[in-house]
Chain A
Amino acid sequence: MTLLSIENVSKSFGQNEVIHGLNLQIQEGEFVSILGPSGSGKSTIFNLIGGLLTPEEGTIHLQNKIINGQRGSVSYMPQTPSLLPWRTILQNVVLGQELRGTTNIEKAQEMIHKAGLGEYIHSYPHELSGGMKQRVAFIRALLSPQPIILLDEPFSALDELTRLSMQKWLLNIWESNKRTVLFVTHNIEEALFLSDRILILSQRPASVISDLKVPFDRPRNEELVLEDQFLESKRAIHYSLKRNVYE
């Protein structure tokens, strides 16, 4: 079943057209990555889906309802953890629920423990490392009641090792929850390792130039990134990006 569907959406800021005729469909339970060069309007797409911006043309459907310019229809995890410094970890993870109505403290406690953050449940964000804060931000997104989670380059500020362990952790948690995820990144390996499907964006004005199915089975482990088929796919995406960005 199609959960999110973006049809022919265009958006410009003044003279500057950022998105032109964007089309994409996300099925329920799917993990889809949007891959594109920096400045290709990835964040604008998220702001459109999140309702902070309204498209000039086209429609955005979520569960067959038009959500153009409607805030709060999706759950969101930003690039920076964006935790509220005066709230404990437990109070932070329920924020998404709180904004939409009722909170489920027991579920939140359970998730924090599962994520390996049990001993920090009553700590404040500044007592946590960067990776741990991002875990908290992801749990907050998972606990939010909306049917789809948008992740906006969530690991781009982390160092390489933390990033790898975070990707594994994310997959682990996701595989036991199977929420629908739309993931923005500029990292090819990350997109391949995590997703079911990859959408490659063109340069500005952005539109989808290719839609790739990722051929690897789940559950995936980290050896995958060194297999021939993985490297082959990585190379293919790399060239396709390069062709469209530089030529």
Chain B
Amino acid sequence: MVLLFLFIIWEMVVKLAEIPAWLLPPPTEIIEEAMTGWSLFSVHLQSTIQLSLLGFVIGSSIGLITAIILHLIPIIRESIYPLLILSQNIPIIVLAPLLVIWFGFGLMPKLIVITLVCFFPITVAALDGFRQTPNELKHYMMMAGANRGQLFWKLELPYSLPAVFSGLKISATYSVMGAVISEWLGAKNGVGVYMTLASSSFRTDRVFVAILFIMIVSLILFAIILLIERILVRWKAKEENKK
């Protein structure tokens, strides 16, 4: 509703102030372009979706594995964790050209960019989840004779699932963004390529089409993860309903 209202105001302001379309096109024109230019755009969209999904899967797997290793081996956690935080302070825009120099224009540098933006939220969320496991549950498990592996697989991992999913949801939206940024590096197809072309030829309506679809893809990815979470962490939802 709010979104619709914003679109109406936008439309009215553009029409009343007679803003030229190359500066700010009205929503109706954007939607029109989305429909007429679909055959051209869909190729780009498809390749971006593939790239985001692949990057997301790789990034979140690496994120989860990193969290597990850091959690199970405390010495590594203490020495590596600060490095991980530092890695998040390197601006991707600066790193991107370097990656191209090292790995060329292929898939590799793009996946590295997406992985870099994806893995961190998951690692942090999962580590917190592991550590927040209640002491009373850990105490029971240890008294009952659970070894380190059992403690992790039967208690800490399932306990941290809600936290892991929070991380996954953040990473999912990041992965689409990461894919678009990585396409700026140079690619044949992709929403990033489409956007660069559109903005350099002052096709502002196309830039907005790209933005619109980036948001839609992010939302769909988010919704899919939410759905998986509902299925896997059913106990948590039930517990909260009761409260």
Q: Which residues of A contact B (CB under 8 A)?
A: 46-47, 50, 52, 71-76, 78-80, 82, 84-86, 95-96, 98-100, 124, 126-127, 144, 146, 150
- What number of A-B contacts does a CB cutoff of 8 Å give? 68
Given known contacts A124-B235, A124-B238, A126-B238, A84 and B137 CB-to-CB distance under 8 angstroms: yes
Given known contacts A84-B158, A126-B238, A95 and B144 CB-to-CB distance under 8 angstroms: yes
Encode B141-154 as 1/0 by CB contact (under 8 A) with A: 11111100010001
Is B233 in the interface zone, CB < 8 Å from A?
yes
Interface contact A82-B145, CB-CB below 8 Å: no
Interface contact A78-B158, CB-CB below 8 Å: no
Interface contact A75-B239, CB-CB below 8 Å: no
CB distance from A183 to the nearest CB of B (A): 15
Interface contact A85-B235, CB-CB below 8 Å: yes
**In the complex, what residue of chain B is closest to A152 when comparing beta carbons?**
B143
Residues facing A in B146-169 (CB within 8 A) are 146, 150, 154-155, 158-159, 161
Q: Which residues of B contact A (CB under 8 A)?
A: 136-137, 139-146, 150, 154-155, 158-159, 161, 233, 235-236, 238-239, 242
CB distance from B240 to the nearest CB of A (A): 9
Interface contact B136-A80, CB-CB below 8 Å: yes
Interface contact B235-A78, CB-CB below 8 Å: no
Which among A73, A78, A86, A124 is the interface contact of B140 at CB below 8 angstroms?
A78
CB distance from B62 to the nearest CB of A (A): 25
How far, in angstroms, from A57 to B186 measured CA to CA in the complex?
70
Q: Which of B139, B233, B242 has the most CB of A within 10 A?
A: B139
Interface contact B242-A126, CB-CB below 8 Å: yes
CB distance from A72 to the nearest CB of B (A): 2
**In the complex, what residue of chain A is closest to B238 when comparing beta carbons?**
A124
Q: Which of A47, A100, A126 has the most CB of B within 10 A?
A: A126
**In the complex, what residue of chain B is closest to A73 when comparing beta carbons?**
B145
CB distance from A57 to the nearest CB of B (A): 22
16 cross-chain CB contacts under 8 A: A50-B142, A71-B146, A72-B144, A75-B144, A78-B140, A82-B136, A82-B139, A84-B154, A86-B159, A86-B233, A99-B144, A99-B154, A124-B238, A126-B235, A127-B238, A127-B242
CB distance from A211 to the nearest CB of B (A): 25
How far, in angstroms, from A95 to B144 measured CA to CA in the complex?
9
CB distance from B39 to the nearest CB of A (A): 47
How far, in angstroms, from A71 to B138 measured CA to CA in the complex?
13
Chain A residues near B239 (CB-CB < 8 A): 85, 124, 126
How far, in angstroms, from A127 to B241 measured CA to CA in the complex?
11
